[in-house]
Structure formats: structure tokens, C-alpha cells
Structure 1
């Protein structure tokens, strides 16, 4: 049996780690492991780097016996891009047959959902996309006679009808569902309402418009119909490696378990169950992936020991976290506030950042994060309670962009800290270019996914080279460099030839020369796009510190120099007795169901910072717990507000 050697690991250290650094014992154990195992890794553990090292070594030994391959599955394209960018410049064999390197969704779509739809519906899928599905569903729903529409909406009780009405498998049969119940149990099959909803859903299926979740329903039905598929996939792949396993839904697990025989395929699941923050993925479902005693990586490269000490019990399954001794250790801080001074929490956070000299330390990213963004009850605390100007980040406004000049204008004004915003703009530009030239994917216009799939099959290195170009363009835009000529030349001379279609020069030229007027309101929308989620703190010396405000889900996977966790209304307030204040004090007990979800969110939010963790807590929730928290190493800072008679501006008075 093949074994990974220390010499091979040393070779990967020279590629993946900073000069002079090496993998410790825990990470070496993970890299060397070639048997079925769970790898439980704490936040900031560098587990992806350990996975990369294993892949680099396995790649050197391709092809495997019997020409078997390696299947690597993740949950986001961002994770795929990260892995590809670090491997692809070495060798591309791992991205070609018989290997697979993709998201779980694209893997299932390609190998199961598409052939399943062709088999069961005798047609080709049009699109698998939640947003497209929602828009098309609403269009069809609005055609229903008003009296039935009103009745259906009343029954839905404010839950979107497009999410209630969906397809599942019950006893191996496709079943129309209304929430958790079969539709026929909600409306009798002979009623007009049942017939209307049933016809609407069947028409969506007939058109080949599916949600991501329904893609897995079709895949499961296909596996049930042709169980020999499991033998085929188990023969093709020697290794199955899944990253961020805690984000794997129940339907995804069913499909994976239906495809891979654990007696024949080495299965390794990388992740941290404490960070399973997506509520539709219940813990009992995620636990189906347990494979005996796991390998652990419990020392974080991200944060200091003081942060490790503070968060090790703010989780469902406590672990003896170890921090990074090379990072300056600062006391975690609780910012105590009340309803009257809540809007001084962010300025206080800014002051703490400034006084600790963090403005030029770490990655210089400062974020305030919370869970709840809105609530109809004005008495409940939500993120805008702290910063009334906050608006949840939305997709960049490219809907009205039609020409090349539009995209250049939008890109120059975007000023986003999120690479995905630029990537979306570039891909939309590519799609609009193809539509302008009437270049189609067989009979339909390309979508983002079908374009990437087309180029993946067409190009030797797939879409990865274009991904690298988009990254280079993004860096240039952020440095103030104009990419107009570069992007224009790419579209005309490199991108277009991939489609092997002759297009008149004047048709191409018209895309680059046409203009589209942008209204003043749109210009203002573009200018305000990023500012709505940023708070600017100006220190007493005049230094600017930008604090980005986001949801906990929005910062998962990120690292910040300092993070402020904002208490918000969730079921009941998060830090009241019976919620998670006792966990913050280091007293860990078996959490109740609602506590469990709050703990997972708090754990993800509080494990983002490298240097400083702050938590905003109402004074009534904190009362009686102060001494215990101080004994555990927390600082407690009060904010008070007074009016400066001369300037009529609010100032901060802080006390420790």
C-alpha cells in the first residue's frame, strides 16, 4: 500500500508555506492519512493547505492503480478557485479524467441531474438556478386568477409560495410538496387550487427550470432507478475528499452515499461541525458523515491565545483550542450599551482599534457582524439599530448594463472589497457580448454556468486561465489601472475565437462603441453601493478607520484584524440568562435546540479576528455576570453619550 513520505511533505512545504515554515505533527498526520477518516479542524487551522499538500503529492503519483481517479468536492466556486490557483501552475492532471475537481452542485448536475431529467422528462434541462426559478415561478403565479392567488397566499402565511411548492421523493415516487406535507394533504386532488398549483409546478418542470435542491431530488431518483451507478463511481474513484463537510445538506449526503461505496472508496471529510450555521442542515443530518474517531487540528494559525481562550466554549462541541503565539495577544472586550447609546457602540469599537494600535496590524480588516438585519418590531435590536444607514450588501447593479462602455463604467466605480463582485461583472460582460453577437449555446443563450461549462470542455485548462485573468484585472482596478483596452482585446482576439463562429467586424465594433445613458439616480446608487455597509471612524489624530458591517453568514471563512460581534434579536436576545451568556463565561452544558443554532453563529462570528475580539452586549443582559467575565480575562467598556454644546456633536466617554 502506498504511503506518503516525509520527503514528499517537505517538498510541498517549499511550495505552499512561507520560507522556513513547516507542517506540525497534526497537519502531517492529516496529509499522510490515506484511509477513510473525518478531519475536524478549528477556525483558521489551515486545513485547506493540508488538503492541498495531500493533493500535490497524490498528483505526482497519477495515474493511480487501475486508472482510478481522485474526486474533490467543495461547496463554493471560491474554494475551487483557491485550490486550482495553487495547484494548476504545477500540473493540470488532477483536473482531467478520471479525476473530478468541482463543487458538489456542479458534480451532481453534470453526472446525475442532467441525464436524470433526460431520462424522466425526455428533454434537456433549461437551467438549474434558484433566482431564475423564483422569477419564472412568480411570472406564472401572477397568471392565476386573483381569487385563487389570494387564497394561496393566505395559506402560505408570508412564506414564499415558490419555496413552499417543491418536488421531493416519497417512497421512490416524485411527490409535489407544500412545505413538509404532500400537496394533496393540503388541498384535495379534485379541488381547483390543487389542479392550479399542480399544473404550475409541472409546467416549470416541463420547461426544465429547476432549483438547486430539486437537482438533488432528480439525482436521488436516478440512483434509485439505476443502483448500478454506485458500482461505476466506486470503480472510477479511489479517493473522495469533501471540504467544509459541515455545510453538506441531507439531500447532498443521500446522493453522495448513494454514489460511493465506503468499502471501496477512501472517503475523507474536512470541516468543523461547530461552524454548521445553515439552519436547513440539522445537526443530526450532518452527523451522518461521522467515520469513527477523527483526526484533529486544534491549533489555529488565525488568532491569538486570548481569543482561543475566549471562544473555546462558545460552540456546540467544545475543544481545547490553541492560539497562535506569534500574534499579539489582546484582552477580549465587551462593549456594554443600552437602548439610548446603542449607536455609540461602533465609535467605541473604532476607538478601541485605534488605542490598541491595530490600524496598521494584521490584514487591517475591521468588521462588525450580527445575525438579524431587519424586524417589524422597532423595540428589537437589529444591525441597523447600531448603524441606521446600514443596508445589506446587494449584488452590483448591472441589470441595465447593455454595452461594453456600461461595464467599464460600472467596474471603475465598483470599489468593492469582494472579488466576487468583479467576477460577476466580468462574466455578465462576457454573456452580454455573446448575446449582442447572437451567439448561442445550441438553441439558448448562454448563462454564467453554461458558459463556464462550455469553456471548461473547450479549453485545455478549462475556465481557470480566464479566472486568473479576472483576478489580474480586479487587482489592476483596485490599483486605479484602466483595463478597458486589455478587456476589449481579450473579448475580440482571445474569447470570441473559442466559439468558432464568423461575426462581421462592424457587429463586434458596435458592442464596443455603443453608449447607454445612466440616470442620475443610478449614478447615485453606484456611488452609495459600498458606503451603505461601511462606518468611518476618525481618530483623535485624524486617522481614518473603516469598519465594515456585515452578517455572520457574509463573513464565514474570512479573517479580520478585529471583529465586533453585535447582539441582535434572535428568538430572544442572545445573551440573556438561558441563552449563551453562561457559555461565554466558560460554563458549557448540552445546548438546547435554539441555543445550538445561536452558538454556531456566535462561534463563526467570534472566530474571525486575528488580534482583537469585541462583543456588544446590553447592560441588562450583562448584569450580574461582570465579575465572572473579568476573572476570565474579559475587559468591559461602557459607552456614554453627551452633547457638546458648541458643536452639537456626540462624543464618547469610555470607562474600563
Structure 2
């Protein structure tokens, strides 16, 4: 069949061969990827080439369908200068999509120019923010919240900011106010805001110094992630033809994980892609959207999902018991989820203050008795909570640490092994054919890591000399070695990093501070062992792995325990707040804001497991609902029961 172009807007077309989506080709590609397509909703999404929204339930195979659709589109793409744009919110989701494309020969075509697959941050940086900064002769040193915070606090110690420092020291969150200052675009101008209204006006000495410090760091090329969105938005406002040029470059756009799109990001995407020039297909699960600390909710007319959006309501991850629970907690958009997976179990674990340390061991034993051992060995049980560590409240319990004595979980800002982690990520990027982006990413990590020792910072990659006898040439050779040499042992890694640290100071004029600050970022970390037998404890049970609910989004577990934690107000406990709804005593649509916030978190945690879902709650708060929950098929256990 000859190639064809299909209309995407006023005068735009999608340069692809529609025969690529013929039934036989879809079936052949699905077989290659090991996918079943038993539902009409799956076929509708794959074959439609118009702008649409797809609301996909947890475990519906949304990412697999996206990968299949893109692989088919790659087979029939007919342009060498215009491409497919795929935007996600996390590198993990982006990597899942590229892995599926890499499994299909034609799919690999989308991993190169003229196509783009990346996070929304990388899209905005590449096509909008970085060109804007280059036009202002600003050289990027780092785009990272933690690196920005460290740089801002160092600036605050300078004499010229002593009035501001004195004012902030009288605030309980003074350091947070300065370290989280960010730009917003207001009327085509960049305005400086922070986590809350400032305790001083803009025309005071403190106000002027606050604004000056932020803009000084910007001139030095030090930014927060959010700054790039504001810079991009201003660039669009000042260059009206830029949006049309970007839309022309990408006649087909697929936006993944739309539930995580902030109002600021949505506004920016609307400016670029919603003028009728581009087919935009958006996929996600709005019920997995978790309120952030700014209370950022989507209220614009284009907010995902649109009222007439398509649905994938069938989950193959779990059975109808967990599906029914999840359906009762669909806060943002009511959805009756149908479970076609393994018909698992739901348990409620009750504890008292004296028995809280038994909750996780009881869950491990319960998982061992209900989940096939080979499944647990491949996918150890997971323990999730909304909070890592306790706060100042006297309420009980508060966090993961209340259940697991000595619990430690690396938080944001963890730097140990930063460089080798970046090397491994860059190697994967290089393996997919994007060598330049891999080197660029690795070099930017190096620049950010050494910033505490090198006040002037390191130059951008493009300014490194290429001659092998120069410091720049030797650095380029070392970057290549980091991306290509075997790094199977600590000795090889140590040799390369020593050479790197000996050469880097030659790139700057000013002397470096104490290099001991680089011990953690350059430390060697072995790759995670794939052998799950390391999780077996002395009693033969497979030990659980703990983490936050937020970090588990997108994961699939064999068994999941959701621990009751204090909510962000410090007044209510999340699991207890939703038990009334789950027991049938209320409806989520009419619930209070506190209950709805808790339900969003519990929904994410409760939709992870295939075989066993357990919730833990303080006995005195949960007992009013245990009878109704038992009638719904829940197993109710007190953790001190002798048979557990």
C-alpha cells in the first residue's frame, strides 16, 4: 500500500502509512512483544490517530499498549525531518517505553532524530529553556534542586546578604525559603517566589537581597527544575512563532503519566501543542494523582482527562477483590475497575502501641503462607508508608520508622554513589544510540557534584578542548572511559575517578576547596543484585522491602503492606480515615478533603499487589469497621494472635 498522510489540524498532516495499523500487523507486533489484546478498548486506542485522552486503570497494561502503538507507528513513519514526540514524567517510565521499542527492530527508529522520547523536564530544557538561556548568554552550571539549595545557602553567607540572613534566621523555615526560591512567569516577566509569602516586602533591604540572590545564581547558571519551566514559558510569550515551529516538528505527540502534570506544565504544553497543528494523545490514571505540598490541582479546561475520554478499566494485575477496593477510592474520576488477574487476598492487621514492631514480621509470615514462594523470591513483599520519618507531633504512629526500628531510607539529596549511578544510566542511554546525550548527562553530573569544591564551576561540555594534550582533551577521554571501560570492581572505578579528580582542577582558575566533599559522590556502589534470595531471613521467610507510597507508583508487587501513617496535617491517620469508606459507611465523592487526600495515597499503595494486600491500623481506630470489612471478604488479624 502506498504511504499516506492523515490530517492533524488546519494544514498539518501526520506522515505515516495507515497500513501499519492493519489487524494482521498489530497482531504480529503484539506477538513479538508478548501482548494479548482481548479487549476492544485496547484496539481502539492502538488504531486511533486523532487527539484523545485515555484514562487507564492500574495494571491495565497501559505502558505496553503505548510501546506497541509507537512500534507500529515507527514501522510506517515517512518523514526524515518531522518526528514523533513522547513525553513522560520520570526516567523510569521513559526507560520502560524505550525498552519496548528496542525489542522491535522498527521501533528503534524512534530512538533517534527526528524523534524525541524523554521526560517533560528534558523536553522543556531541550526545545525551550536552554535555547532561551543561550540567547541571554547564560551558561548552564546545574539544573538540580539540591545543588541549587547548596549554592543558595553558600551565597547567603556572603557579607552582601547579611540583612537577609539575619531576617531569615528569625524564621523557622528561613533556610527553606531561600533554598526553594523559584521563578514564575508573570506577564512575560520572571518573578521570584518561594514556598510561602515572604515575611518582608519586596522594597525592603531583605526583599531586594532575596531577589538579587536568586538572580545572581541565575546569571551564574544555577537553577531549580521549576525555573526552567518559567524560563520556557517566558521564551514562548516573547517568541510567538516558536510554538508553531515546535508543533510543526512534532505532528504526533504522546504524553504519558498525565496524572503527574502540574498546572504550570499543563499551561506550557497547551501553549505549544493545542492550537490544532498536532495530534496529541494523553494517557494516564488521574486517580493516581497525589496532592503535592503546594496543593496543585488541575482546574484548566484542558486538564486531564477530558470528560469524554476513553477508558481502560480492566486490570490484569489483580483480581476483583482488590479491584473493588480500588474502585471505592477513585477520588478524581469515579471508575469501576474490573480485575482479571489472580484473585488475591486482603487483610487488615490490627496493632496496639506495644505491638507495633510485630506488624511487619506478621505481614512477612502472612505473605509466606498466601503467596507462592517462587513468586516472593522473584518479587519480595513490599512495605509502604506515606512518611519516612516521624515529625514533632505526639500522635501515634507517625511514619515508617515507628514500625521498623532503626529504619533509614535515603531521601532527596543523597549523594553517595551519585557518579557511578549516573555512569550506569548514561551507558544505557549510549547503548540506545544517543552517545552525545550520554556524555552530556554524565558531564553535567560531574559539574554538579564538584560544585561545593569549585566555586567557579566547570565549563559546559562544548567548551572542553578536544586536543588530547589539554586538560579538556584528557577529560573527554576519561568520560569516554567511564562510558566504555569495564567497571566490575572497585579498583577499576577508583583508578578512573582518581584520574578524573586529578585533572578537573586544571579546568578552573581558582583553587579548589577541600576535596573530601567528593568522597560520597565518587564512591563505588556495586550494582543491585538480581538474586532475591538475599531477602530470606533466618526463619526462612522472604523479608520485606520498605519504602514510601510515592516511590512505588508504577510498580507491581507480589504482596504489599500499607502502613497507617500521620497525614501531612499532623492530625489524622491515612488508613483509618479511609476504612469507613471501604466498610461501606460513606462514599468517597461526599467525603471530606482529609479523607479524599488519604484515599489518593491508599489507592496508589493498594493497587500495587498481585496476590496479597494488607493494611495496618491502630486497633482502637479500626475496630468499628472490622465486622463490615470481614463481610466484604477481608481477613482481620491482630498481630499478637498466637497462630500468626
Alignment of 1:50-129 (within 5 A): 50-64=65-79, 68-88=82-102, 90-91=105-106, 92-119=108-135, 121-129=136-144
Name the counterpart of 2:561: 564
Q: Is the alpha carbon distance of 1:151 and 1:430 closer, same or farther for their aligned partners in structure 2, counting shifts above 3 Å?
A: closer
Match of 1:346 among 342, 354, 360: 360
Quote the Cα distance in structure 1 between the aligned partners of 2:595 and 2:417: 44
Name the counterpart of 1:653: 642
SS at match of 2:639: strand
Q: Any conservation in 2 of the 1:176–1:198 contact (CA below 8 Å)?
A: yes
Alignment of 1:362-441 (within 5 A): 363-373=378-388, 374-381=390-397, 382-394=399-411, 399=416, 431=446, 441=461
Pair 1:619 & 2:619 matched: yes
Encode CA deviations 1:393-417: one digit per residue, 9 max, x unaligned: 3589865999x9xx99xxxxxxxxx
Quote the Cα distance in structure 2 between the aligned partners of 1:158 and 1:230: 39
Quote the Cα distance in structure 2 between the aligned partners of 1:79 and 1:235: 26
RMSD value, Cα: 4.4
Q: Any conservation in 1 of the 2:566–2:574 contact (CA below 8 Å)?
A: no
Quote the Cα distance in structure 1 between the aligned partners of 2:71 and 2:317: 24
Which range moved further: 223-232 or 602-611?
A: 223-232
Quote the Cα distance in structure 2 between the aligned partners of 1:653 and 1:252: 53
Deviation at 1:592, TM superposition (A): 3.1
Deviation at 1:67, TM superposition (A): 5.3
Name the counterpart of 2:59: 44
Which range moved further: 545-554 or 260-269?
A: 260-269
Q: Any conservation in 1 of the 2:575–2:598 contact (CA below 8 Å)?
A: no
Pair 1:298 & 2:287 matched: no
Quote the Cα distance in structure 1 between the aligned partners of 2:578 and 2:69: 38
Name the counterpart of 1:584: 582
Q: Any conservation in 2 of the 1:559–1:608 contact (CA below 8 Å)?
A: yes
SS at match of 1:169: strand
Encode CA deviations 1:411-443: one digit per residue, 9 max, x unaligned: xxxxxxxxxxxx99x9599959x99xx997244
SS at match of 1:283: coil
Alignment of 1:277-292 (within 5 A): 277-279=290-292, 280=294, 282-285=296-299, 288-292=303-307
Quote the Cα distance in structure 1 between the aligned partners of 2:464 and 2:573: 49
Quote the Cα distance in structure 1 between the aligned partners of 2:444 and 2:165: 38
Quote the Cα distance in structure 2 between the aligned partners of 1:157 and 1:487: 40
Q: Is the alpha carbon distance of 1:398 and 1:565 closer, same or farther for their aligned partners in structure 2, counting shifts above 3 Å?
A: closer
Match of 2:260 among 241, 244, 247: 247
Deviation at 1:160, TM superposition (A): 0.3
In the alignment, structure 1 segments of 5+ residues that lack a partner are 409-422, 497-502, 508-515, 641-651
Encode CA deviations 1:496-540: one digit per residue, 9 max, x unaligned: 9xxxxxx99xx9xxxxxxxx999x999x9989x99xxx997758x
Alignment of 1:488-637 (within 5 A): 538=537, 542-570=539-567, 571=569, 572-574=571-573, 579-586=577-584, 587-590=586-589, 591-637=591-637
Deviation at 1:292, TM superposition (A): 4.2
Deviation at 1:290, TM superposition (A): 3.5
Match of 1:266 among 279, 287, 291: 279
Encode CA deviations 1:217-273: one digit per residue, 9 max, x unaligned: 000001111111122122222211011001111221111111113422111111001
Pair 1:161 & 2:177 matched: yes
Deviation at 1:202, TM superposition (A): 1.7
Q: Any conservation in 1 of the 2:59–2:315 contact (CA below 8 Å)?
A: yes
Name the counterpart of 1:419: none
Aligned positions, number: 564
Deviation at 1:323, TM superposition (A): 1.5
Q: Any conservation in 2 of the 1:367–1:562 contact (CA below 8 Å)?
A: yes
SS at match of 1:44: coil
Encode CA deviations 1:161-218: one digit per residue, 9 max, x unaligned: 235532212222222224454x6xx534442212221221121111111111010000
Encode CA deviations 1:103-148: one digit per residue, 9 max, x unaligned: 11111101111121233x3333322221211111111012256564
Name the counterpart of 1:11: 28
Quote the Cα distance in structure 2 between the aligned partners of 1:521 and 1:168: 33
SS at match of 1:580: helix
Q: Is the alpha carbon distance of 1:380 and 1:150 closer, same or farther for their aligned partners in structure 2, counting shifts above 3 Å?
A: farther
SS at match of 1:7: helix
Name the counterpart of 1:135: 150
Q: Any conservation in 1 of the 2:229–2:264 contact (CA below 8 Å)?
A: yes
Name the counterpart of 2:510: none
Quote the Cα distance in structure 1 between the aligned partners of 2:124 and 2:380: 36
Quote the Cα distance in structure 1 between the aligned partners of 2:444 and 2:53: 41
Q: Is the alpha carbon distance of 1:190 and 1:612 closer, same or farther for their aligned partners in structure 2, counting shifts above 3 Å?
A: closer
Encode CA deviations 1:424-472: one digit per residue, 9 max, x unaligned: 9x9599959x99xx997244799xxxx9xx99xx9xxxx9xx99x89xx
Q: Any conservation in 2 of the 1:248–1:281 contact (CA below 8 Å)?
A: no
Quote the Cα distance in structure 2 between the aligned partners of 1:269 and 1:638: 44
Q: Is the alpha carbon distance of 1:304 and 1:111 closer, same or farther for their aligned partners in structure 2, counting shifts above 3 Å?
A: same
Name the counterpart of 1:30: 45
Name the counterpart of 1:192: 205
Q: Is the alpha carbon distance of 1:430 and 1:132 closer, same or farther for their aligned partners in structure 2, counting shifts above 3 Å?
A: closer
Q: Any conservation in 1 of the 2:168–2:174 contact (CA below 8 Å)?
A: no
SS at match of 1:653: coil
Deviation at 1:561, TM superposition (A): 0.7
Q: Any conservation in 2 of the 1:125–1:207 contact (CA below 8 Å)?
A: yes
Quote the Cα distance in structure 1 between the aligned partners of 2:412 and 2:192: 32
Name the counterpart of 1:414: none
Match of 1:225 among 235, 238, 243: 238
Match of 2:373 among 341, 347, 359: 359
Quote the Cα distance in structure 2 between the aligned partners of 1:389 and 1:536: 18
Quote the Cα distance in structure 2 between the aligned partners of 1:575 and 1:439: 48
Name the counterpart of 1:417: none
Quote the Cα distance in structure 1 between the aligned partners of 2:85 and 2:609: 33
